[in-house]
Amino acid sequence: MNKWNFNLLLLVFVLSLCNAASATLADSANPLDLVKETTEQVLSRIAEQREQLRNDPGKVYELVNELVLPRFDFEYMSQLVLGKYWARASDSQKTEFVLAFRELLVRTYATTLLNYADQEIMYMPLRMVAGATDATVDTRVVGGGAPPIPINYSLYQKLGEWKVYDVAIDNISLVSQYRTSYAAHIKRYRMDGLIQQMQKLNKRNQ
């Protein structure tokens, strides 16, 4: 996956899955409708504050922190990313990893938001069995002079709300990518070494 594709993945991940302020959206039983409606709200917010966000990048982080966090289940994502190492980690290591992983993603998304260039998002028919608590929302992203890029979002219901736990671009899972990278790091530096490296990266990007 080249750098442009990865950055676009992060950008659309944020735009499509941000939390809506409306209770109606939060309670939506249709994840596709939720994605579409929240995307429109976020795009509108970015358009209104574009100049302000560029002049004060710190507000971009605040915006992402406010809108994105409620739509993710970072603890579940962390379990999937760490795989077998999650069960081997201590409670304190689990807590530290979830916090570091969440900050890493949010800061990356915040940076990518500054480069938004009006890409078009196309929505495919929803792939979900009636009454299911797990769903996939498929989109196609058009922009940057490149062919349409398929991006598929995996969501599940938690306490009646849809939460994101993975995203795939060109059939490459974000969770799987981090799992491979972090597993290699854990084998070499152990869990504490991985967490320390993530914390250093987050501190450097502040």
For 136-189, how does the pLDDT look when each residue is reduced to its tens digit (9 = 90+)? 989 888 876 778 888 888 999 998 888 889 988 888 898 999 999 999 999 999
Determine the Cα–Cα distance for residues 22 and 37; give it in Å rounded to an integer: 10
Domain count, the chain: 1
pLDDT for 117: 59
Residue 134 has a CB neighbour count (10 Å cut-off) of 13
Is the model's pLDDT at 42 over the cut of 80?
A: no
pLDDT for 82: 98
Mean pLDDT, range 194-199, rounded to an integer: 96
For the stretch 67-91, pLDDT in tens is: 667 778 999 999 999 999 999 999 9
Three-state secondary structure along 183-199? Answer: HHHHHHHHHHHHHHHHH
Full residue range of the structural domain in which residue 125 is found: 3-204
Residues 6+ positions from 81 with CB-CB distance below 8 Å: 101, 175, 178, 179, 182
pLDDT for 20: 34
Residue 155 pairs in a beta bridge with 135, 164
pTM for the model: 0.79
Closest CA to 198 of 75, 81, 97: 97
For the stretch 4-38, pLDDT in tens is: 444 555 555 555 554 333 333 444 568 888 777 76
Which CATH number belongs to the domain containing residue 17 in this structure?
Answer: 3.10.450.710
Taking a C-beta distance cutoff of 8 angstroms, is the pair 139, 127 a contact? no
pLDDT for 2: 47
